A and B are shown apart, each in its own frame.
Chain A
Amino acid sequence: MNTKIVIVNIFRFILLLLMQVFIFNKINLGGYLNPMVYPLFVLLLPFEISGFALLMLSFFMGLGVDMFVGSIGLHAGATVFMAFFRTIGLRIISSNREYESGISPGINDLGYVWFIKYTMLLVFAHHLYFFFMEAFTLADFGETMIRVFMSSIFSIILILFIDIIFKPNIGRR
Chain B
Amino acid sequence: MRNLIQFIIKNSFFFFFLLLEVLSFFLVVSNNSYQRSSFISASNGLTSGILSVVSDASDYFGLKGENEVLVQENAYLRSQLLESNLWSENSFKRYNDTVKHQFYTYKSARILSKTIQNRNNYLILDKGRRDGIELEMGVISSNGIVGIVNDVSENFCSVISVLHKQSAIDALITSNGYTGTIYWPGKDYTIANLKNIPSHAKFNVGDTIVTSGNSTIFPPEIPIGYITDINLRAGQNFYDVDFRYSVDFNKIRHVYIIHNLLKEELMKIREEQDEY
| Contact (Cβ within 8 A) B20 A55 | yes
Interface size on B, residues (CB 8 A): 39
- What's the minimum C-beta distance from A117 to chain B, rounded to whole angstroms? 23
Whether a CB of chain B sits under 8 angstroms from the CB of A31 is: yes
Chain A residues positioned under 8 Å from B50 (CB to CB): 68
CA distance in complex: A100, B253 (Å) = 51
Chain A residues positioned under 8 Å from B13 (CB to CB): 51-52, 55, 84, 87
Number of A-B contacts (CB under 8 A): 101
Given known A-B contacts A22-B54, A34-B117, A70 and B122 have beta carbons under 8 A apart: yes
| Contact (Cβ within 8 A) A59 B20 | yes
| Contact (Cβ within 8 A) B189 A31 | yes
CA distance in complex: A134, B42 (Å) = 17
Chain B residues positioned under 8 Å from A51 (CB to CB): 12-13, 16
Which of B26-34, B76-84, B199-207 lies at the interface with chain A? B26-34
Whether a CB of chain B sits under 8 angstroms from the CB of A143 is: yes
List A18-46 residues whose CB lies under 8 Å from chain B.
Answer: 22, 25, 27-28, 30-34
By beta carbon, the residue of chain B nearest A79 is B24
Whether a CB of chain A sits under 8 angstroms from the CB of B7 is: no
CA distance in complex: A134, B50 (Å) = 25
Whether a CB of chain B sits under 8 angstroms from the CB of A80 is: yes
By beta carbon, the residue of chain B nearest A77 is B24
Whether a CB of chain B sits under 8 angstroms from the CB of A162 is: no
| Contact (Cβ within 8 A) B117 A73 | no
CA distance in complex: A76, B20 (Å) = 9
Whether a CB of chain B sits under 8 angstroms from the CB of A81 is: yes
| Contact (Cβ within 8 A) B16 A73 | no
| Contact (Cβ within 8 A) A28 B117 | yes
By beta carbon, the residue of chain B nearest A140 is B186
Whether a CB of chain A sits under 8 angstroms from the CB of B47 is: yes
Chain A residues positioned under 8 Å from B31 (CB to CB): 71-73
CA distance in complex: A62, B14 (Å) = 19
| Contact (Cβ within 8 A) A134 B188 | no
Chain A residues positioned under 8 Å from B116 (CB to CB): 28
CA distance in complex: A90, B77 (Å) = 63
| Contact (Cβ within 8 A) B28 A72 | yes
| Contact (Cβ within 8 A) B115 A73 | no
| Contact (Cβ within 8 A) B41 A69 | no
Whether a CB of chain B sits under 8 angstroms from the CB of A135 is: yes
CA distance in complex: A117, B31 (Å) = 35
- What's the minimum C-beta distance from A137 to chain B, rounded to whole angstroms? 9
Of the candidates A25, A28, A32, A81, the one whose C-beta lies within 8 Å of that of B21 is A81
| Contact (Cβ within 8 A) A74 B28 | yes
Chain A residues positioned under 8 Å from B42 (CB to CB): 67-70, 72
CA distance in complex: A74, B12 (Å) = 23
Chain B residues positioned under 8 Å from A81 (CB to CB): 21
- What's the minimum C-beta distance from B251 to chain A, rounded to whole angstroms? 11
Return the CB mask of B106-144 against A: 1 if under 8 Å, else 0: 000000010111111010100000000000000000000
Whether a CB of chain B sits under 8 angstroms from the CB of A133 is: yes
23 A–B contacts, CB within 8 A, in A order: A22-B54, A27-B117, A31-B117, A31-B186, A31-B187, A51-B12, A51-B13, A52-B16, A55-B13, A68-B42, A70-B115, A71-B31, A72-B31, A72-B42, A73-B24, A73-B25, A76-B27, A77-B20, A77-B24, A80-B20, A84-B13, A133-B28, A134-B119
Can you add 9 more A-B contacts, CB < 8 Å, to A52-B12, A72-B27?
A31-B188, A70-B42, A70-B115, A70-B158, A73-B26, A73-B27, A74-B24, A80-B24, A84-B13
- Give B contacts to A, CB under 8 Å: 12-14, 16-17, 20-21, 23-28, 31-32, 38-39, 41-43, 47, 50-51, 54, 113, 115-120, 122, 124, 158, 186-189, 250
10 A-B pairs with the lowest CB-CB distances in the bound complex, closest first = A73-B27, A77-B24, A70-B42, A51-B13, A31-B188, A73-B28, A73-B24, A28-B117, A34-B117, A84-B17
- Give A contacts to B, CB under 8 Å: 22, 25, 27-28, 30-34, 51-52, 55-56, 59, 62, 67-74, 76-77, 80-81, 83-84, 87, 133-136, 140, 143
